């Protein structure tokens, strides 16, 4: 049995990114296509047959993400990432890969010495409580409210998360308000602290189910406390004193490009031999 299932969320917007980056995953990490996949799609997305053809994995399962009661499409799909991993994945871990992730090398390079050692087997070893890491991914140095980046929105995010943690844990609050930067980030106020990024992130399914159950109990079916899947998961893992492993995924031959142009440029470089691969 595989340790993990690849989990992808796709809608009209992200499908263009996925169809651009997917060939790099197949070239650099063909082993990903030998494990189970779960692809959840916006129920209104009409291009799923094109995506199925591109993925071409007989062990892939496709489901529709049905809920519609969200302020934005972004929040709808981020919520799907939590609930799909929690209730639809049958392996111990879910590997969340964002559609704008580019696989660039599987070979040790001067700047990427660990590219041939991904994923590391020790990441999946249980701890004394039988759980082990609940999240494995790159560190991120701040939290910023999105898409509304005003300070009052960030303060609301923080209070909502701290109160959510209060409901389930007796551990102290993380006091994130004290970590709001003293100067403005170019994209808006930020809370400067180390947290987990989820653009390429292994997530323990047991923990994600616990989190989804708690989100449902507190906020309703299919909902998140704030419109950020990784901020919510990181906060509750940290507050609950669960084990997190920060592994810089760029050291393992992956890049994250937020624009479609950036994805195309990096993917073209990979596919035309611009990176050294095994």
| Half-sphere exposure in the Cβ direction for 211 (13 Å, CA) | 34
Whether residue 31 lies inside any domain: the answer is yes
Q: Quickly list DSSP for 195-230.
A: EE--SEEEEEHHHHHHHHHHHHHHH-TT--SSS-HH
Residue 88 is assigned to a structural domain of this protein: yes
109 pLDDT above the threshold of 80: no
In tens, the pLDDT along 57-77 reads 999 999 999 888 898 999 999
CB-based contact 62:48 (threshold 8 Å): yes
* Residue 162 within any structural domain of the chain: no
SS3 254: strand
- Structural domain total, the chain: 1
Domain-embedded: residue 26: yes
Query: Does some domain include residue 21?
Result: yes
Give the confidence band of 278 by pLDDT, cuts at 50, 70, 90: low
Where residue 238 sits, what CATH number does that domain have?
A: 3.90.550
Flag whether 178 is in a domain.
no
Please tell me the number of Cα atoms within 13 Å of 252 on its side-chain side: 16
- Confirm whether 164 is domain-assigned: no
Whole-prediction pTM value?
0.94
User: In this structure, what are the phi and psi dihedrals at residue 65, rounded to the nearest 5 degrees?
Assistant: -90, 105
Summarize the confidence of residues 188-192 as an average pLDDT: 84
Domain residue limits at 12: 4-136+196-271
In a domain, 157, yes or no: no
Most confident range, picked from 97-101, 110-114, 142-146, 177-181: 97-101
């Amino acid at each position: 049995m595989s340790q993990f299932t690849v989990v992808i969320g796709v809608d009209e917007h992200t499908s263009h990114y996925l169809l651009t980056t997917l060939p790099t995953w197949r070239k650099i990490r063909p082993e990903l296509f030998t494990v189970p996949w779960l692809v959840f799609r916006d129920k209104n997305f009409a291009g799923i047959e094109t995506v199925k053809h591109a993925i071409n994995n007989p062990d892939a399962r496709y489901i529709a993400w049905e809920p519609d009661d969200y302020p934005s499409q972004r929040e709808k799909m981020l919520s799907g990432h939590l609930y799909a991993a929690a209730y639809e994945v049958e392996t111990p871990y879910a590997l969340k890969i964002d559609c704008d992730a580019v696989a660039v090398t599987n070979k040790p390079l001067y700047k990427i010495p660990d590219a041939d050692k991904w994923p590391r087997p020790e990441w999946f070893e249980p701890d004394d409580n039988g759980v082990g890491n609940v999240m494995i991914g790159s560190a991120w140095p701040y939290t910023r409210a999105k898409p509304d980046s005003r300070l009052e929105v960030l303060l609301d995010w923080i209070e909502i998360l701290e109160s959510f943690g209060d409901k389930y844990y007796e551990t102290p609050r993380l006091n994130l308000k004290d970590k709001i930067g003293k100067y403005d980030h170019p994209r808006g106020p930020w809370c400067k602290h180390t947290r987990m990024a989820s653009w390429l992130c292994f997530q323990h399914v047991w923990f994600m189910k616990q989190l989804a159950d708690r989100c449902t109990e507190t906020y309703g079916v299919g909902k998140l406390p704030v419109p950020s899947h990784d901020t919510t998961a990181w906060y509750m893992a940290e507050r609950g004193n669960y084990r997190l492993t920060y592994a810089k995924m760029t050291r393992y031959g992956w890049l994250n490009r937020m624009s479609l142009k950036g994805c195309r440029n990096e993917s073209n470089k990979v596919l035309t031999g611009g990176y050294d691969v095994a």
